[in-house]
Structure 1
């Protein structure tokens, strides 16, 4: 069954309302700064049957109905996990930065990456940082992001490990994506222990120097068939 577009009621860090009805939800993959390492990782995944992406970075356009600011989300099985990601919102000529989780079905990912991403909701924080009309001014390499799973640190580092989200956006726009309101997930950092883990409570945090940290927590429940 097709989902309907989500209307997101967001608020800037200084309390100004931002209402967005995204026309497109795009999750970018393989956005590591070291593209030689990215290529090596793709080759490793190919050995276990994960198909090579059509482009690098890769772009997975998903149903906007997957977006949510809810604190509880339903997933389809036990083998799903979140990933902390910077999220760029573009609407009415302005840009906003927030943090989200590319929650993914890991069992399905071995066979179809896009389907694995589309199988799970995409939680985002309800708070955003207003970047105005020139997001290029972000101190990208100094931004930190972290994720805790059931209270234990799962991911942590600076976004210097990733391509700047404005560069990823330019790559996406080069496909002629149009000027509809967009939510773009910019990629994630390596897991601290290198292995996916599954759990219930996911806490995400993004900190831009000079701005209040943006945080949110969501819990998952397995959908009954």
Structure 2
């Protein structure tokens, strides 16, 4: 696994400060619903279609940081891939920031091995971030909402309060797989699909709405790699 990735140029939206984030570690968290019963039901639903259950809940998948991209066009293998909107915590130095990203995943491989399915696709990431305060939770976490759309059709929508707080996930991640010096990018899980089924398409739109402030947004398109 790579120990570093190309710098990611990020903008702090409320101060217009620019950061050069050099991820030493990329971790994607799964099954992060605050409602543990709901998380168990989701695991059972996935098991019914052949996706193996995780070893721990929440689950943490340690991936190559070079998968991260802020580009608006990404290449994938196969047709059965899909994204999803996620809050993303970026640790840069001794500061924490919130961004929006997509855990784009190969759904065919997911039936065989979840880590491999996640490692098979780039991880799109928006370049705008907000800094998290020094308290326990991000500012107004209980009032943040997230949405995604695919090819112009609504795909996900709901409050981020349905997910575990990022600082809790950071603590659990460290307990589960250890920590590392340097910049960290942690994808914090996602919301249920409005349709209940994966949808495959070309253009993805992601947003996290901040009450009384700017939205964190990103959009990207996917295309098949040339043979």
CA distance, structure 2, for counterparts of residue 79 and residue 45 of structure 1: 16
Q: CA deviation at 1:45?
A: 2.6
Structure 1 segment 49-128 matched on structure 2, within 5 A: 49-128=50-129
CA distance, structure 2, for counterparts of residue 18 and residue 207 of structure 1: 22
Map of 2:20 onto structure 1: 19
Moved over 3 A (4+): 1-4, 132-135
Map of 2:219 onto structure 1: 217
Q: CA deviation at 1:182?
A: 0.6
Structure 1 segment 184-203 matched on structure 2, within 5 A: 184-203=186-205
Is the Cα–Cα contact under 8 Å of residues 23 and 185 in structure 2 kept in the other structure? yes
Secondary structure class of the residue paired with 1:136: coil
Is the Cα–Cα contact under 8 Å of residues 28 and 58 in structure 1 kept in the other structure? yes
Map of 2:184 onto structure 1: 182
Structure 1 segment 122-137 matched on structure 2, within 5 A: 122-134=123-135, 136-137=137-138
Map of 2:5 onto structure 1: 5
Q: CA deviation at 1:169?
A: 1.1
Deviates more, 1:186-195 or 1:129-138: 129-138
CA distance, structure 1, for counterparts of residue 119 and residue 142 of structure 2: 29
Is the Cα–Cα contact under 8 Å of residues 30 and 58 in structure 1 kept in the other structure? yes
Deviates more, 1:115-124 or 1:174-183: 174-183
CA-to-aligned-CA distance 1:145-179 (integer Å, 9 cap, x gap): 00011111111111121111211111012233134
What residue ranges of structure 1 are gaps of 5+ in the alignment? none
Secondary structure class of the residue paired with 1:117: helix
CA RMSD of aligned residues (A): 1.7
Aligned pairs, number:
225
Judged with a 3 Å threshold, the aligned counterparts in structure 2 of structure 1 residues 152 and 219 are, in CA distance, closer, same or farther, namely same
Q: CA deviation at 1:201?
A: 0.5
Q: TM-score, structure 2 length as denominator?
A: 0.93
Q: TM-score, structure 1 length as denominator?
A: 0.94
